[in-house]
């Protein structure tokens, strides 16, 4: 599942594109370990595909289960985990089906990355994922930003499509748009609140990474490292956060 920024140009390395999310995840995992006294946490990655997040989390010592509808992705996940020397359980299914696949109240952290754009009912998916969590458990939601779609289409010279994205309730720029829906920060917050979560952090992901040509990053000494530093600083800036390609929200279910 890719956003328009990724298809328009591969501007930067994967590290620059995911640094903000990883920084936030490491922090909440450390907090959860301290809260529970358990060094090995239970994590569910809904729509986790080939394991971009799941395998590194398993390498950190956590128990990770990926739920994904694609058997090909799950097969690639198995190979990737084996190459890394870790075990990641893969289950075939959609985010809304997790209640039928996994017991309630057994996860410390649920990842829902690039999923809500594609599921039939985002609210139902979040409600199902909430039931997986133990009291005080967390969810990490990463979703396409409707505001960024306007910016990216305009920068590409697609001014009519930018206007369409600006006025379309789903943030789509036209019939050929591969993303079924995008979200604003307020819309994601409302969805999470309705599912029983309390949002604790909001970040902008890829504020600059999809706009800066890769050749500029390559020719500037230390360019990739400096871009990551800039992305992390911009992630919580009130204006810059809301134009990022993706929005990342961390939210918690009640303690009891």
The answer to whether residues 80 and 158 belong to one domain is no
Residue 154: count of CB within 10 angstroms of its CB: 15
Low-confidence ranges of the chain (pLDDT < 50): 1-11
The answer to whether residues 121 and 163 belong to one domain is no
58: DSSP letter: H
pLDDT at 2: 38
The answer to whether residues 107 and 30 belong to one domain is yes
pLDDT digits 0-9 by tens, 132-176: 999 999 999 999 999 999 999 999 999 999 999 999 999 999 999
Q: Can you tell me the distance from the alpha carbon of 204 to that of 18, in angstroms, rounded to the nearest whole number? A: 11
The answer to whether residues 57 and 152 belong to one domain is no
pLDDT at 256: 73
HSE of 191, CA atoms in CB hemisphere, 13 A: 25
Please name which of 139, 147, 250, 164 lies closest in space to residue 206, comparing C-alpha atoms. 147
Q: 60: burial class by Cβ within 10 Å (0-12, 13-18, 19+)? A: middle
Q: Can you read off the two tokens belonging to residue 127?
A: 């409600």
Write out the DSSP string of 102-156. Answer: S-TT-EEEEEEES-TTTSS-HHHHHHHHHTTEEEEEEEEEEEEBHHHHHHHHHHT
Residues 6+ apart with CB under 8 A from 127: 195, 196
The answer to whether residues 150 and 96 belong to one domain is no
The answer to whether residues 112 and 173 belong to one domain is no
The answer to whether residues 160 and 204 belong to one domain is no
The answer to whether residues 38 and 108 belong to one domain is yes
Element (H, E) at 46: strand 42-46
The answer to whether residues 117 and 227 belong to one domain is yes
The answer to whether residues 115 and 140 belong to one domain is yes
CATH of the domain at 213: 3.40.50.150
The answer to whether residues 75 and 197 belong to one domain is yes
pLDDT at 99: 85
Please name which of 116, 125, 130 lies closest in space to residue 196, comparing C-alpha atoms. 130
Q: Can you read off the two tokens belonging to residue 114?
A: 């690039």
Q: How many domains does the chain have?
A: 2
Please say whether the dihedral angle defined by the alpha carbons of residues 130, 132, 138 and 144, taken in this order, is positive or negative.
negative
pLDDT at 18: 92
pTM of the prediction? Answer: 0.91
Q: Are 204 and 231 in contact (CB under 8 A)?
A: no
Q: Can you read off the two tokens belonging to residue 63?
A: 């128990």
Residues 6+ apart with CB under 8 A from 75: none
The answer to whether residues 133 and 68 belong to one domain is yes
164 lies in which domain range?
146-180
pLDDT at 220: 72
């Amino acid at each position: 599942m890719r956003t328009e920024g990724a298809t328009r140009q591969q501007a930067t390395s994967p590290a620059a594109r995911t640094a903000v999310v990883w920084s936030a995840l490491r922090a909440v995992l450390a907090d959860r370990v301290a809260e529970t006294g358990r060094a090995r946490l239970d994590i569910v990655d809904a729509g986790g595909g080939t394991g971009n997040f799941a395998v590194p989390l398993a390498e950190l010592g956590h128990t990770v289960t990926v739920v994904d509808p694609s058997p090909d992705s799950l097969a690639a996940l198995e190979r990737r985990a084996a190459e890394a020397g870790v075990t990641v359980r893969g289950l075939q299914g959609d985010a809304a089906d997790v209640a039928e696949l996994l017991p309630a109240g057994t996860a410390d952290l649920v990842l829902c990355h690039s999923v809500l754009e594609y599921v039939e009912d985002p609210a139902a998916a979040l409600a199902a994922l909430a039931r997986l969590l133990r009291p005080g458990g967390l969810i990490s939601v990463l979703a396409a930003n409707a505001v960024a779609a306007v910016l990216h289409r305009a920068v590409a010279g697609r001014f009519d499509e930018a206007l369409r994205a600006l006025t379309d309730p789903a943030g789509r720029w036209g019939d050929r748009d591969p993303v079924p829906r995008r979200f604003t920060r307020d819309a994601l917050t409302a969805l999470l609140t309705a599912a029983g979560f309390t949002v604790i952090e909001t970040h902008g992901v890829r504020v600059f990474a999809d706009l800066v040509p890769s050749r500029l990053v390559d020719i500037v000494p230390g360019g990739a490292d400096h871009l990551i530093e800039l992305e992390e600083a911009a992630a919580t800036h009130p204006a810059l956060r809301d134009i990022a390609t993706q929005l990342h929200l961390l939210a918690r279910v009640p303690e009891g």
